Amino acid sequence: MLRRRLDLPLDRDGSGRFLPWIVALMVYLSSLALAGTLVVRDVLERWDQGLQGTVTVELPAKPAGGKDDGAVELALKLLRATPGVLSAEPLDAKRTAQLLAPWLGADVDVAELPVPRLIDLRVDPARVDLPALAQRIKTAIPGAALDDHRRWLDRVLRTGLALQAVAFAIVVLVGAAAVLAVVFATRTGLAVHHAVVEVLHLIGARDGYIARQFEWHALRLGIEGGIAGLVLAVLTVAGVAGAAERVGAIDDAMRLLPLVEAPLYEWALLLLLPVAAGLIAMLTARITVLRALARMP
């Protein structure tokens, strides 16, 4: 279908020589932007789901001298007696040291530092009034605090939404640039074949017939360039995913790149980009030619 015979020798001139390369670049950038959007959304959803029902209770550090003031036992008793609390487990010194290791090193002695004592709390959000529970803990243990991680997660979600907006803006700008490239290539083709187009126009060829010559040519070039750009984007995403897995295999704490784990059907949407690029090129070429023919006598 894409190799259908055209009456105008559009393949013999250089008007569309660079169009497939331009479309390939556009599809490549759009694919990376959309892939980044999918990854960011997947990471944010996993973080949001992972923090559902997870609360951290912070108790003041032990008094000077390291004497046990019974705050942990009192907090555990209060928490475990609260309806909707699924579990309440204090973090031991080893686990606390692991949390501080990225900043203080692996050899830190938590017992010598005035660090807050932490309790990992699992709750049923539908059954627990967290503000009321936080107030009860503060009343029972002065200086205690309850952190449901929502403030941190809300900031991350806002950042993720900003990144998605930037990706969408990139796709729009890339699409606009592709349209301009098609317009330029189509006008160049019209100028190169002006004499033939004029003769066809004078002998009664309909504008739609002439426009179809250019639109099928633009469709073929757009799809060819789109496939090339998509292949390069897939290779790039695969390389990034492989790098993320290798870094995570070395040390999960060193992971800088998120794993690419979005659903397969979402990645399948990227396969539509070459078709979309071809259809945009086809429609743009048609409109450009029809507007040019309308000005001809």
Task: Please report, in tens digits, the pLDDT of each residue of the chain (297 residues total).
Answer: 444 555 666 666 666 678 888 899 989 998 888 888 887 887 777 777 766 778 888 888 877 556 667 888 888 888 888 888 888 888 877 787 777 776 677 776 666 777 888 888 888 877 888 888 888 888 888 888 888 777 777 787 888 888 888 888 888 888 898 899 889 888 888 888 778 877 777 777 787 888 888 888 888 888 999 999 999 988 888 887 777 666 554 444 444 445 555 567 777 778 888 998 999 999 998 898 888 888 776
Q: Please report whether residue 94 resides in a domain.
A: yes
- Do 180 and 269 sit in the same domain of this protein? yes
Together in a domain, 28 and 160: yes
CATH number of residue 117's parent domain: 3.30.70
Q: Are residues 80 and 219 in the same domain?
A: no
Domain count, the chain: 2
- 2, 26, 284, 48: which is closest to 175 by C-alpha? 26
For the chain, the C-alpha Rg in angstroms (whole number) is 31
Domain co-membership, 91 together with 127: yes
- Say whether both 171 and 196 belong to one domain: yes
Question: Looking at the domain assignment, is residue 103 inside a domain?
Answer: yes
- Look up the pTM and report it: 0.69
Q: 44 — phi, psi (to 5°)?
A: -65, -40
Which residue type, as a one-letter code, is found at position 54?
T
Both 212 and 287 in one domain: the answer is yes
Structure tokens at 193: 């074949």
In terms of residue numbers, what domain contains 174?
A: 10-49+153-294
Measured distance CA(151)–CA(157) in Å, rounded? 10
- Asked whether residue 125 falls in the same domain as residue 267, the answer is no
Do both 227 and 118 map to the same domain? no
Could you give the CA distance from residue 214 to residue 207 in angstroms, rounded to a whole number? Answer: 11
Residue 28: inside a domain: yes
Q: Residue 4 falls within a domain, yes or no?
A: no
Does any domain span residue 1? no
Mark whether 238 and 197 lie in a shared domain: yes
Whether residue 3 is contained in a domain is answered as no
The closest of 156, 154, 76 to 120, measured between CA atoms, is: 76
Terminal-to-terminal C-alpha distance of the chain: 33
What gap in Å lies between CA 246 and CA 188, rounded to an integer? Answer: 49
Q: Of 97, 120, 147, which closes a domain?
A: 147
For 59, list phi and psi in degrees, rounded to 5.
-110, 150
Boundary (domain end) residue, out of 107, 127, 147: 147
Examine residue 201 and state whether it is found in any structural domain, yes or no.
yes
In this structure, are 166 and 269 located in the same domain?
yes
Chain centroid offset of residue 61 CA: 40
Q: Are 32 and 237 in contact (CB under 8 A)?
A: yes
The residue from 115, 147, 179 where one domain ends is: 147
Q: Is the dihedral of CA 187, 193, 194, 199 positive or negative?
A: negative
Please indicate, yes or no, whether residues 227 and 250 belong to a single structural domain of this protein: yes
What residues contact 231, with CB distance under 8 A and at least 6 apart?
Answer: none
Question: What backbone phi and psi angles, to 5 degrees, belong to 46?
Answer: -65, -40
Residues 166 and 127 in one domain: no
